[in-house]
Structure 1
Amino acid sequence: MRLWSLHPALLDRAALVACWREGLLAQAVLAGRTRGYRNHPQLERFRASPDPLVAVATYLSGVAEEADARGYRFDRTRLDADPDAILRLAVTRGQLELELEHLRAKVLARDPQWLVRLGSADPHPVFDVVPGPPESWERHRP
């Protein structure tokens, strides 16, 4: 499961679609509808929020907005909660930089023309950037 902290506009088609699909899986886990992935480390940041289902719905809403901008149709009726426009989660600068490098490696293999879009590690709209290394839950290391 990869729930990108990067702005969805940075994600190539494959990453954007996978992010939506995996975000819906995260939502199912947080809602208790599945037994798998219950201990997935990327869910920690949503569980730490006051209402994890609202947090993941807000995250998914940002992904859906980018999909709309590209002419894709992601079904927002699948969200379990209403997004919260004022909700803010934190992400470290180190996490964003690590994810940008990870995305560059993936894009290099599947869509090298997309690389020109990967200039800076801008965050998903729900995240505020704070100083620090990659998140403690991150398993991918360069």
Structure 2
Amino acid sequence: MRIWSVHPRYLDAKGLVALWREALLAQKVLSGETRGYRHHPQLKRFRKHEQPLEAIAAYLHEVQREAERRGYNFDATKILRQGTAVRIPVTDGQIAYELSHLRAKLEVRDRAALERLPNGEPPSIHPLFKVISGDVEDWEVV
């Protein structure tokens, strides 16, 4: 499971579809609808949020909007809540790690998407998150 902190605009088609499916799975886990993945480290930051289901809903809404911008049809009725404006902190070290990880994936999978990644300047991040200074997050499996 990979729930990216960088904005979904950087993902290729395969990555965006995978993100949608994995974030929907995260929603199921957080709502207690499945027993698998309950201890997945990617969910720690959502569990720390005062309203975890609203946080994952806000995340999903942005992924769905990105899909819509690309002409894809992701079913927004699968999102259980409206979302939240309360943002989750993410470290600049985590963002750098994710960008490097994504770059490696796109080098193999989609060179055109790789060319769209920012080079030298900070990337846009998912609007649920706010960047703070720090190393790679402790929940990240490096």
TM-score interval (norm. to shorter): over 0.9
The whole-number CA distance in structure 2 between the counterparts of 1:12 and 1:124 is 15
Amino acid in the other structure paired with 1:134 = V
The whole-number CA distance in structure 2 between the counterparts of 1:30 and 1:22 is 12
SS of match in other structure, 2:106: helix
Q: Equivalent residue for 2:89?
A: 90
Where in structure 1 do 4 or more consecutive aligned residues deviate above 6 Å? none
Q: Equivalent residue for 2:33?
A: 33
1:129 aligns with 2:131: yes
The whole-number CA distance in structure 2 between the counterparts of 1:135 and 1:75 is 31
Amino acid in the other structure paired with 1:129 = V
The whole-number CA distance in structure 2 between the counterparts of 1:134 and 1:55 is 21
Contact 1:6 1:121 in 2 (8 A): yes
Q: Equivalent residue for 1:78?
A: 78
Q: How high is the sequence identity, in percent, across the aligned residues?
A: 53
Q: How many residues align?
A: 139
Provide, for residues 61-83 of structure 1, a one-character-per-residue CA deviation record: whole Å limited to 9, x for no partner: 11111111100111111111112
Give 5+ residue unaligned stretches, structure 2. Answer: none
Provide, for residues 47-73 of structure 1, a one-character-per-residue CA deviation record: whole Å limited to 9, x for no partner: 011111100000011111111110011
Give 5+ residue unaligned stretches, structure 1. Answer: none
Considering only aligned residues, what root-mean-square deviation do their CA atoms show, in Å? 0.9
The whole-number CA distance in structure 1 between the counterparts of 2:133 and 2:61 is 25
Q: Equivalent residue for 2:43?
A: 43
